[in-house]
């Protein structure tokens, strides 16, 4: 039941994120200067921010940015990891150890600091998530190389090879179904990690650039407790982020249990 509820919730969030240009009452950057910091109600369901922008519209667009691009970055990491495993184990093993030794946030802020100050917000969005995707390949690559090693030593693999089955056929028909479940598990692990990473970077002002909204830069208002007390709707991005992560976790746990049972 929990898995079904979580899936329905994620589907609703995903749909509203994708339809944000249609269902959002206003544009994410439209300013109502005479209604800055307006309380919820009437024209603005969640109120407005200090620049007079509608919080609900910004939340919908932010969901489109964070909840769609973080899984895309996770998919990129998994794809890069699979490609890296095509190289000899020594290279992958050594490289993954080196990459895993570098705290990603330091790597990320150093790369962000290299970008020009006038980087376009839409490019900053793509770069933020692309950098995450590229920087996060090492973890899944280590898991994949372990799985491949296990497979190569397994009885069925030896049997298949001794039976003279072609290498490509072994890979495609026998090995890929096993690797696919590992890849999906890695994807399920990485997507929430990237959502949280974007949130941390956004809070620091090093993620997606204004005026483009993301869950991370919407959370920056939490630094002003007086504003939160006046308008508790400021907590909406945090609540949505937490609910999405809990739903992803519920789906992941149930799927894992099902796979183990199978």
Contact residues toward another protein (CB under 8 A) are 94, 97-98, 100-107, 109-110, 112-114, 116, 192, 196, 199-200, 203-206, 219, 222-223, 225, 238, 241-243, 245-246, 249
| Between 75 and 105, CB nearer to another protein | 105
| Between 34 and 114, CB nearer to another protein | 114
List helix spans (H) across the chain: 2-18, 20-23, 55-84, 89-101, 104-114, 121-135, 138-152, 155-162, 167-169, 176-204, 215-218, 225-230, 236-261
| Between 165 and 238, CB nearer to another protein | 238
Residue with tokens 């093993």: 93
Distances in whole angstroms, Cα of residue 27 to Cα of each of 32, 71, 168:
11, 24, 51
Q: How far is the CB of 220 from another protein (least distance, A)?
A: 9
| Between 82 and 206, CB nearer to another protein | 206
Q: How far is the CB of 172 from another protein (least distance, A)?
A: 33
Rg (CA), the chain: 22
| Between 114 and 153, CB nearer to another protein | 114
As given in the structure block, the two tokens for residue 130 are 């692309």
| Between 100 and 158, CB nearer to another protein | 100
Distances in whole angstroms, Cα of residue 246 to Cα of each of 6, 32, 34, 107:
8, 34, 38, 28
Q: How far is the CB of 32 from another protein (least distance, A)?
A: 28
With H, G, I as helix, E, B as strand and everything else as coil, classify residue 212. coil
Residues 6+ apart with CB under 8 A from 168: none
Q: How far is the CB of 41 from another protein (least distance, A)?
A: 26
Distances in whole angstroms, Cα of residue 87 to Cα of each of 73, 144, 172:
22, 12, 17
Instruction: Give CA–CA dist 153/88, Å, rounded.
Output: 16
Instruction: Give CA–CA dist 238/223, Å, rounded.
Output: 13
Q: How far is the CB of 62 from another protein (least distance, A)?
A: 14
Q: How far is the CB of 35 from another protein (least distance, A)?
A: 27
Q: What are phi and psi of 97, to 5 degrees?
A: -60, -45
| Between 120 and 249, CB nearer to another protein | 249
> Cβ distance 76 to 135 under 8 Å?
no
Q: How far is the CB of 68 from another protein (least distance, A)?
A: 19
């Amino acid at each position: 039941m929990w898995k079904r509820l979580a899936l329905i919730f994620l589907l609703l969030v995903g749909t509203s994120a994708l339809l944000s240009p249609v269902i959002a009452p206003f544009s994410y950057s439209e300013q109502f200067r005479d209604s800055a910091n307006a309380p919820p109600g009437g024209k603005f369901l969640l109120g407005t921010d200090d620049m007079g922008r509608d919080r609900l519209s910004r939340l919908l667009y932010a969901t489109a940015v964070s909840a769609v691009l973080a899984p895309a970055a996770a998919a990129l990491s998994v794809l890069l990891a699979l490609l890296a495993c095509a190289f000899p184990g020594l290279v992958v093993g050594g490289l993954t150890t080196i990459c895993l030794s570098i705290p990603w946030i330091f790597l990320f802020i150093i790369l962000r600091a290299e970008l020009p100050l006038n980087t376009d917000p839409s490019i900053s969005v793509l770069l933020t998530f692309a950098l995450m995707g590229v920087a996060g390949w090492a973890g899944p690559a280590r898991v994949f190389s372990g799985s491949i090693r296990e497979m190569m030593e397994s009885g069925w693999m030896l049997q298949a090879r001794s039976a003279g089955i072609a290498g490509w056929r072994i890979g495609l028909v026998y090995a890929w179904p096993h690797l696919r479940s590992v890849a999906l598990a890695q994807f399920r692990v990485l997507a929430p990690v990237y959502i949280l990473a974007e949130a941390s970077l956004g809070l620091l002002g090093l993620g997606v650039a204004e005026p483009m909204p993301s869950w991370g830069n919407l959370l920056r208002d939490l630094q002003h407790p007086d504003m939160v007390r006046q308008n508790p709707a400021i907590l909406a991005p945090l609540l949505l982020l937490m609910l999405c992560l809990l739903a992803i976790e519920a789906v992941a746990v149930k799927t894992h249990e099902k796979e183990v049972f199978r």
